[in-house]
Amino acid sequence: MTLTTGVRADAGRHARLRGLALATLDANWEHDHTVPSRTLYPHQWSWDSAFIAIGLAHVRPDRAWRELRTLFAAQWVDGRVPHIVFNPASRAGPYFPGPQFWDSARADGAPARATSGIVQPPVHAPAAWLVHRRAPGEASVAALRRLYPRLVAQQRYLTGRRDAGGGGLASIVHPWESGLDNSPAWDAPLAAVPADEAVMRAYRRHDTAHADAAQRPTDLDYARYVALVESYRAGRYRDEALLGRHPFLVECPLVNAALGVSEYALARIATVIGADPGPHRDRGARITEAIVSRLWDPVTGTFRPRDVRADRLVPARTVLGLMPLALPELPSAQVSAVLAEACSPRFGLAARMDRPLPTYDRTAPDFEPLRYWRGPSWINTGWLLWQGLRTHRRADLAAGLRESLLDLVDRAGCHEYFHPDTGVGLGSPAFSWTAALVLDALA
Ligand code: 2M8
User: What CA–CA distance (Å, rounded) separates 437 from 17?
Assistant: 11
Cα 400 vs. chain centroid, distance in angstroms?
Answer: 22
> Is the pLDDT assigned to residue 201 strictly greater than 90?
no
Residues with CB under 6 A from ligand 1: 36, 41, 45, 47-48, 83, 176, 179, 181, 207
Residue 20 Cα to ligand 1 midpoint, Å, equals 22
Contact 43, 95 (CB under 8 A): yes
Evaluate whether residue 211 is within a structural domain.
yes
Evaluate whether residue 298 is within a structural domain.
yes
Q: How far apart are the first and last CA of the chain?
A: 24
Contact 136, 57 (CB under 8 A): no
Range of the domain at 83: 20-442
Atom number of ligand 1 nearest to Cα 83: 5
Helix (H) or strand (E) holding 134: helix 124-134
Contact 81, 122 (CB under 8 A): yes
Q: Which of 67, 163, 177, 416 is catalytic?
A: 416
Evaluate whether residue 284 is within a structural domain.
yes
Average pLDDT, stretch 24-47?
98
Average pLDDT, stretch 151-172?
98
CATH (domain of 367): 1.50.10.10
Which residue's C-alpha comes closest to atom 11 of ligand 1?
179
221 is catalytic: no
The pLDDT tens digits of the residues spanning 38-81 come to 999 999 999 999 999 999 999 999 999 999 999 999 999 999 99
Atom number of ligand 1 nearest to Cα 116: 5
> Is the pLDDT assigned to residue 366 strictly greater than 60?
yes
- In this predicted model, which residue has the larger pLDDT, 200 or 30? 30
> Is the pLDDT assigned to residue 109 strictly greater than 60?
yes
Look at residue 10 in the predicted model and tell me its pLDDT.
Answer: 87
416 is catalytic: yes
Query: Where are any strands of DSSP class E within 311-406?
Result: 312-313
Average pLDDT, stretch 124-152?
98
The pLDDT tens digits of the residues spanning 258-296 come to 999 999 999 999 999 999 999 999 999 999 999 999 999
> Is the pLDDT assigned to residue 157 strictly greater than 90?
yes
Which residue's C-alpha comes closest to atom 4 of ligand 1?
176
DSSP three-state, residue 226: helix
Atom number of ligand 1 nearest to Cα 84: 5
Contact 81, 154 (CB under 8 A): yes
In this prediction, the answer to ipTM > 0.95 reads: yes
Q: In testing the pocket of ligand 1, which one of 41, 180, 415 has its CB within 8 Å of the most ligand atoms?
A: 41
Which residue's C-alpha comes closest to atom 3 of ligand 1?
176
Residue 42 Cα to ligand 1 midpoint, Å, equals 11
Q: Within a 10 A sphere around the Cβ of 433, how many other Cβ atoms? A: 26
Percent of the chain with pLDDT over 90: 94
Structural domains of the chain, count: 1
pTM over 0.95: yes
Strand partners of residue 295: none
Evaluate whether residue 4 is within a structural domain.
no
Evaluate whether residue 15 is within a structural domain.
no
Evaluate whether residue 295 is within a structural domain.
yes
Which residue's C-alpha comes closest to atom 9 of ligand 1?
179
Look at residue 7 in the predicted model and tell me its pLDDT.
Answer: 78
Contact 284, 264 (CB under 8 A): yes
Q: Which of 30, 48, 163, 181 is catalytic?
A: 181
Evaluate whether residue 294 is within a structural domain.
yes
Look at residue 138 in the predicted model and tell me its pLDDT.
Answer: 96
Atom number of ligand 1 nearest to Cα 207: 8
Look at residue 1 in the predicted model and tell me its pLDDT.
Answer: 56
Look at residue 3 in the predicted model and tell me its pLDDT.
Answer: 66
Residue 40 Cα to ligand 1 midpoint, Å, equals 9
Q: Within a 10 A sphere around the Cβ of 278, how many other Cβ atoms? A: 10
Residue 279 Cα to ligand 1 midpoint, Å, equals 33
Percent of the chain with pLDDT over 70: 99
The pLDDT tens digits of the residues spanning 205-235 come to 999 999 999 999 999 999 999 999 999 999 9
Atom number of ligand 1 nearest to Cα 96: 8
Give the model's confidence band at 336: pLDDT under 50 very low, under 70 low, under 90 confident, else very high.
Answer: very high
Evaluate whether residue 230 is within a structural domain.
yes
> Is the pLDDT assigned to residue 2 strictly greater than 90?
no
Burial 20-43 (b: 16+ CB within 10 A, else e): bbbebbeebbbeebbbbbbbbbbb
14 burial via Cβ count (<10 Å: 0-12, 13-18, 19+):
middle
Average pLDDT, stretch 427-441?
98
Average pLDDT, stretch 97-111?
97
Which residue's C-alpha comes closest to atom 5 of ligand 1?
176
Residue 35 Cα to ligand 1 midpoint, Å, equals 11
**Helix crossing, 379-391 with 395-412: angle to 10°?**
160
The pLDDT tens digits of the residues spanning 311-322 come to 999 999 999 999
Residue 179 Cα to ligand 1 midpoint, Å, equals 6
Phi-psi region of 103 (alpha: psi -120 to 50; beta: other; left: phi over 0): left
Strand partners of residue 313: 306
